[in-house]
Amino acid sequence: EGKFELNPAWSPDGQKIAFLRIQSPSLSDLQMIPLAGGAETSLVLLKFYAINANMIWIDKPDRLIFSAREKAEQPWSVYAFDLDSREIRQLTFPENNMYGDHFPNLVKKDQLTFVRSELSMDLLNPESPGKGKIISLNLKNGMEQIRTVLDQQTMGMAYSKSLDKMVFWLSEQEGYSYEMQMLDKTGALEKIAEASAYRPTNL
């Protein structure tokens, strides 16, 4: 229908996909469709100023986790949409003087890991995140724990279950070159791809 469709998220059983259909700049229709074919289901209208470019689906209970900004002047925060109750709940509360929380990943059951970034000092890309911290959030009690501090801008983060490591796109020179690195349990970073000029927005 001439509308953008973004942020596909696979269900944990691999049988469904949730995605966003952009209705207007600040209104997105969260849709679900079975991979076997069939009708789409509209789950909720999300009224956010902006929604980040990654969304994950976790089960027990079924929840869609995403990063968004309610207003232009507010930082990014992590939210959860409960598929049973159809309720949206804010999970993280960064300070207003920060870029905010983005790239949520489920590392273990009930443990969410995300990046909390400062405001960028990059004049060429003022909307990009600044230096940040990797934080683990216990979904049961809401407790946060800092895993490591990064001196570079984090432009993407994903969890490798088979390696049990976090993978990052990191900016080496304030928005001019990017490289991929992995973080192990000890907090050590390992470079796995050379720097390039490509500016990623997701991983």
Cα–Cα distance measured from residue 171 to residue 126, given in angstroms and rounded to the nearest whole number: 14
**136-145 pLDDT, tens per residue?**
999 999 999 9
Output the pTM of the full model.
0.90
Beta bridge partner(s), residue 137:
112, 144
Contact 147, 134 (CB under 8 A): yes
The low-confidence residues of the chain, meaning pLDDT below 70, are 1, 124-126, 172-176, 199-202
